[in-house]
Chains A and B, each alone.
Chain A
Amino acid sequence: MSRNPNAAETADAWDAVVRFDDVSMRYGREPETLKDLSFSLPQGSFHFVTGPSGAGKTSLLKLIYLAAQPSKGLLHLFGQDVAQTPAEVRPFLRRRIGVVFQEFRLLDHLSAFDNAAVPLRIAGRKPDSYRQDVAELLTWVGLKDRMHALPPTLAGGEKQRLAIARAVVGRPDILLADEPTGNVDHEMGLRILRLFLELNRLGTTVLIATHDQDLVARSGMPVLHLEDGRLAHMGPVAAGARP
């Protein structure tokens, strides 16, 4: 068992928002995609997940947003062992996690505004309590004039910004983003990074899967580096950038 020295080891490891203990994961009967991962993300931390394509970055995020289950080991979210969490409680854990999916997963029949409002509606909020917030957020990500556009009419970068807006609109405790700057230009990439950093300052624990080394370097934030499903390195950016 390799407890990582960079992860908070003592009392607050148990308070960590996300905690992996020897977690492995496999798809069906295939060999393990993730192997013996142990780390924890303290409340309010900001990390990148890096690694070559196929290393398991997306799979790692899936474990956290409860779209997959460990085949071995213990995964704690908000101090709860997810394997022991009753099915009725899992939706409420998911509501505390905002996800920017790599493939966006926007609903094509809903306007950009409606797409951004989905998490708030699911959380049971009344439209009057959030319409202003949604409009401001969409303005902030540069979609002020596309609020009633349907996703199929949006450009790649616009879709990405909409997916980000939807992920952060509910002020989640954890923000997960899978390659969130893959389709936007350098300028917009920096704006998105600033948004994530801002959310992080307000207390959100952020985990971003990316192979945008420039983004990692600019942020100065620590890195979880995956190689072939194993945690090869966890630590400051400089080391993470050089596998």
Chain B
Amino acid sequence: MSRRRTSGPFDLDRWRPAPFLPERDTRDSALVFVVAVLCFLACLTALGVIASDRAARGWSHQLSGEMTVIVRPKANETPDSAAARAAETLAGVPGVAEARALEREKAEALIAPWLGEAADLADLPVPRLVAVLLDREAPASAQSLERALLARGLDAVVDDHTTWLADIQRGAAIARWVGLGVFLLISAAAAAVVAFATRAGLAARREVVELLHLTGAEDAFIARLFQVRFAQMAAGAGLVGAACAAVLGAAMRLGGGGQGLTPVLPVAWSDLLAVLPCPLAAALVAAVAARMTAASLIRELS
């Protein structure tokens, strides 16, 4: 920049007025860093809230779309035929998409851990399980399944997963509120830091405020200088923080995989858009803080 030269002949024709506020100020680097970090954390929390909400939705969706029926064979019937009959009965109930009797081995595998190696499962009347997939549009109720089974003389218990569902939904709600709380807390901290640092930055440029004021600059003119400057700075810091959070989110999406974070925190590509308002919000907070601080500094002068 030629007008920043401090030696050699002064080129009058090329002179352009320099900004009233220093373009770059090392005093601001701490502000930029802290705002960027807080914006990063706020964006990360936002991504976490969105993803965990989706995870909870996914699980409860899956659980609420299924029921498990436990069939206890009566004396006059083999367990296999009772299970087959139950599956056939259930498949005919309106609102059931699919009913499938689990093989004996699967049922035994499920209860084996409770009985121990020693037990000879072949001798035991192991109850059979029927997995029921419900029609998503108009799911059948547990009662309607029970009625249908009873009508065919089957001794069976329908587990509609309500206990699990309630647990998952309660857990998800807690996670959502905690996440939202943390997000709001971090956002508030970021806003407070932006406001505080803007105040400090402005006080450090008190001599500029004073001189412009005494030279006849209008209050709104001075306030606008600081408003624009600090809004730009906060927007830049917010952008860095948001971009880092988005990169981390993308890494989780890519690297999570089946065994990784994906089932717990299923980040979708569209979630990354949630970081977009961050630079804008940071800029807005800084602008308001700068305006208020400049106004109060100017009031002290006159």
Contacts and interface: CB of A to CB of B under 8 A. Distances in A.
A99 B210 CA distance: 13
B13 to A, nearest CB: 8
A153 B219 CA distance: 31
A119 B20 CA distance: 12
Contacts of A88: 218
Interface in A88-123: 88, 90-95, 99, 105, 107, 109-111, 113-114, 117-119, 121-123
Contact of B15 (A95, A107, A131): A131
A129 interface: no
A161 to B, nearest CB: 16
Contact of A111 (B6, B212, B216, B217): B6
Contact of A92 (B20, B211, B216): B216
Nearest to B6: A148
B300 to A, nearest CB: 11
B18 A111 contact: yes
A147 B218 CA distance: 27
B164 interface: no
Contacts of A87: 219, 302
Interface residues of B, number: 28
B5 interface: yes
A48 interface: no
A153 B210 CA distance: 22
Contacts, number: 74
Central interface residue in A87, A105, A109, A135, by most chain B CB within 10 Å: A109
A114 B214 contact: no
A149 B6 contact: yes
B113 interface: no
Interface in A34-86: 65-67
Interface string B99-110: 000000000000
B302 A111 contact: no
A10 interface: no
Contacts of A65: 214
Nearest to B210: A105
Given A114-B17, A132-B12, A99 B216 contact: no
Interface string B186-217: 00000000000000000000011011111111
B3 interface: yes
A142 interface: no
A118 B15 contact: no
B301 interface: yes
A150 interface: yes
Given A114-B17, A132-B12, A105 B211 contact: yes
B10 interface: yes
A150 B6 contact: yes
A114 B1 CA distance: 15
Interface in B1-45: 3, 5-7, 10, 12-13, 15-18, 20, 22
B17 A90 contact: no
A127 interface: yes
B286 to A, nearest CB: 21
A153 B217 contact: no
Contacts of B218: 88, 91
A109 B211 CA distance: 13
Contact of B211 (A91, A107, A127, A132): A107
A242 B46 CA distance: 77
Nearest to A167: B215
Given A118-B211, A135-B12, A90 B302 contact: yes
B215 A95 contact: yes
Given A67-B301, A87-B219, 4 more contacts: A66-B302, A118-B211, A118-B215, A153-B6
Listed from nearest, the 9 A-B pairs whose CB atoms lie closest are: A95-B216, A94-B216, A147-B10, A109-B22, A91-B216, A122-B217, A114-B18, A91-B218, A105-B211
13 contacts: A91-B216, A91-B217, A91-B218, A95-B215, A109-B18, A110-B20, A111-B6, A114-B18, A119-B215, A122-B212, A122-B216, A148-B7, A149-B6
